[in-house]
C-alpha cells in the first residue's frame, strides 16, 4: 500500500538517503554537461568534414573530443571544459580554414 504518513513535497522521508540522492543528481548533471560538449564536438567535426572535405581532421576531432570527454569524466574539476576546448578548436578550423 501507499505510505500516507509522509507529506509529499516538504522534505525527504526518513527512509530516503538525502546525501546519496544529491550525489547521484550531481553526477547525472555532470554527465549531461560533458555529453553535451562531446556531441557539439561531433557536430562540428561533421561540419568540418562536410564543408572543407577535411575528413581526417574531422576524425581527429571526434577522437580528441572522446578523449577530452573521458578526461572530464574522470577529473571532476575539468568536467565540461575539456570537450568545450576541442569544440572551440573545431569551430576555429571551421570558420578560418
Residue 21, domain member (yes or no): no
Residue at 12 is within a domain? no
| Domain-located, residue 54 | yes
In a domain, 46, yes or no: yes
Domain count for the chain, please give it.
Answer: 1
pLDDT at 20: 86
CA distance linking residue 17 with residue 22, whole number of Å = 9
pLDDT at 8: 60
Scan for cell 574539476, then name that residue.
Answer: 77
In this prediction, residues 66-92 reach a mean pLDDT of: 96
Please provide the average confidence, as pLDDT, over all residues in the chain: 89
Q: Is residue 92 situated within a structural domain?
A: yes
Instruction: Kindly list the distances between the CA atom of residue 48 and the CA atoms of 36, 92, 93, 95, 97, in Å, as whole numbers in the listed order.
Output: 18, 10, 7, 9, 9
Domain extent for 42: 31-96
Would residue 2 count as lying in a domain?
no
Is there a domain that residue 84 lies in?
yes
Look at residue 83 in the predicted model and tell me its pLDDT: 96
- Whether residue 18 lies inside any domain: the answer is no
Q: How confident is the model at residue 14 (pLDDT cuts 50, 70, 90)?
A: low
Residue-wise pLDDT for 31-64, tens only, equals 999 999 999 999 999 999 999 999 999 999 999 9
Which of helix, strand or coil describes residue 76? coil
Amino acid at each position: 500500500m501507499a505510505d500516507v504518513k509522509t507529506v509529499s513535497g516538504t522534505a525527504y522521508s526518513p527512509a530516503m538517503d538525502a546525501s546519496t540522492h544529491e550525489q547521484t543528481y550531481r553526477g547525472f548533471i555532470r554527465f549531461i554537461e560533458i555529453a553535451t560538449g562531446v556531441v557539439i564536438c561531433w557536430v562540428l567535426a561533421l561540419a568540418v568534414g562536410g564543408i572543407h572535405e577535411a575528413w581526417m581532421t574531422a576524425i581527429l576531432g571526434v577522437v580528441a573530443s572522446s578523449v577530452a570527454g573521458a578526461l572530464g569524466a574522470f577529473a571532476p574539476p575539468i568536467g565540461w571544459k575539456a570537450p568545450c576546448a576541442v569544440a572551440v578548436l573545431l569551430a576555429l578550423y571551421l570558420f578560418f580554414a
